[in-house]
Amino acid sequence: MTEMESRQQLESQLQEILIWEKEQKDVMFWEKLGRIPFMLLDRLTPKAVQEKIGSALNEVGGFIQSGGKHLVREKSVMNVLAQAAGLDGPNAVSGPSVKSAQEESIEGENEEEVAANSGLTLASASKLPLQVMDTAADTLTVKRVKFAAAQGAATGIGGIFTIAADLPMVLGQSLKVLQEMALCYGYDPNDPRERVFIVKCLQFASADIVGKKAVLEELATFDDEQMTEQVFSQLQGWREVVQSYTDNFGMKKLFQLIPIAGIVFGSISNKGTISDVAEAGKMLYKKRRLNYRLKNMEYPL
C-alpha cells in the first residue's frame, strides 16, 4: 500500500487546491444569457412535464432531510477504494464502464462481497493515503461522466419532453457523484451535515465567480460546529440553489432541440456538467481531509 504523506506533502497538496480555487473563473457570458432561453423553454413545457421537474426538485429537499432515493451504496465505494489500495484480492470488480441496471445490481452484490473481504470500512477508509483516495475518486468520476454522456445523447433525441426529463436525471447523478466523492475522502453522506456540504458543492459547481467565493467562505469554517448551524439555516432556501443549478442548463438544453445535433450537444452538456460537479466535490472534500490531518494528526517532517 502507498505510504502515508509527510506534513510537507500535505501542505504542498493543500497549496495546490488553494491555487485551484483561485483559478476558478466566472461563468461565460453566453452561459448567463442561457438563463433567458431556459425561462422561455420552461414556459413552453407542458404542465405535466413541469410537474415532473417540480417533483424532482422536491426530491432534492428530501435528500437534504433524509437522503431519499439518491443515497449511494457505501460498500460499492469501499470496493473501489480497496482496489486502489491493493486490498481487493483476485475477485475484484473490473474498471468503470456504462452498465445496465441489471448489470449494476449484480455488480453491486460482488462489490459488497469484495468490500467485506477487504475489511475496509468508512472509518478505516478515512485513514488511507490521499493518493489512494484520489485514485478512487478519479475512477468513480470516469464512470459517472461516461454514464452522463450516454444519457445526454439519449435524451437529445426526443426534443422538449426528454430534455425536461433530463434535468432531474442530471441532478440525481450530480448528487450521487458528490456522495461518492464524500465517501472516497472518508465522509458519510448519511450524516445530515454532509448532505448540506454536498449541496454546497453543487452550488459551487454552478455558481458565478461571486457565488463561488461566497461558498468557499462558508465552507472554510464548515467543521466549526457553531458556524455549521449558520450554513444549515442558509440552506432553508435550498430551492434557490437548485433553481440556480437548473437555470444554467438554458443555452445547453436549447441546442438539444436541434434535430440530430441534439444528440451531440446533449452528450457534451451532461458530460461537462458531471465532470465539473465531480471536480468540485473532489477538491473541496480533499481540502477538508487535508486540513483535518494537518490539524489533528502528527506527521514526520
Rounded Cα–Cα distance for residues 142 and 295 (Å): 32
Out of 27-31, 109-113, 192-196, the most confident range is: 192-196
pLDDT for res 267: 77
pLDDT for res 172: 83
| Measured CA distances, 199 to 28, 177, 223 (Å) | 22, 12, 15
For the chain, first and last CA: distance in Å?
Answer: 21
Region 180-191: what's the mean pLDDT?
A: 95
Give the CA angle between residues 173, 38, 240 to the nearest 5°: 60
Amino acid at 250: G
Share the mean pLDDT of the chain: 74
Higher pLDDT, 138 or 88: 138
Residue 93 has pLDDT above 50, yes or no: no
Higher pLDDT, 271 or 250: 271
**What sign does the CA torsion over 125, 129, 130, 134 have?**
negative
Region 45-66: what's the mean pLDDT?
A: 60
pLDDT for res 301: 46
φ/ψ of residue 262, rounded to 5: -60, -30
pLDDT for res 196: 84
- Percentage with pLDDT > 90 across the chain: 29
Amino acid at 29: F
Residue 266 has pLDDT above 60, yes or no: yes
Region 241-266: what's the mean pLDDT?
A: 62
Q: Cell digits for 2?
A: 502507498
Residue 271 has pLDDT above 90, yes or no: no
Write the pLDDT tens digit of every residue in 238-250: 566 666 665 655 5
Contact predicate 6/301, CB 8 Å? yes
Residue 5 has pLDDT above 80, yes or no: yes
Burial class from Cβ neighbours inside 10 Å (0-12, 13-18, 19+) for residue 51 reads exposed
Contacts of 84 (CB under 8 A, 6+ apart): 132, 133, 135, 136, 139
User: H or E segment at 107?
Assistant: helix 101-118
Q: Cell digits for 250?
A: 438554458
Rounded Cα–Cα distance for residues 230 and 222 (Å): 9
Residue 187 has pLDDT above 60, yes or no: yes
Contact predicate 45/223, CB 8 Å? no
Query: What confidence category does residue 117 fall into, taking pLDDT thresholds of 50, 70 and 90?
Result: low
Which has the minimum average pLDDT: 184-188, 202-206, 248-252?
Answer: 248-252
Contacts of 125 (CB under 8 A, 6+ apart): 78, 81, 133, 183, 184, 186
Closest-CA residue to 133 (of 293, 299, 300): 293
Region 133-161: what's the mean pLDDT?
A: 83
Residue 138 has pLDDT above 50, yes or no: yes
Contact predicate 140/180, CB 8 Å? yes
Rounded Cα–Cα distance for residues 142 and 199 (Å): 21
Rounded Cα–Cα distance for residues 89 and 17 (Å): 33
Region 149-164: what's the mean pLDDT?
A: 69
| Measured CA distances, 28 to 31, 35, 276 (Å) | 5, 12, 14
Higher pLDDT, 257 or 268: 268
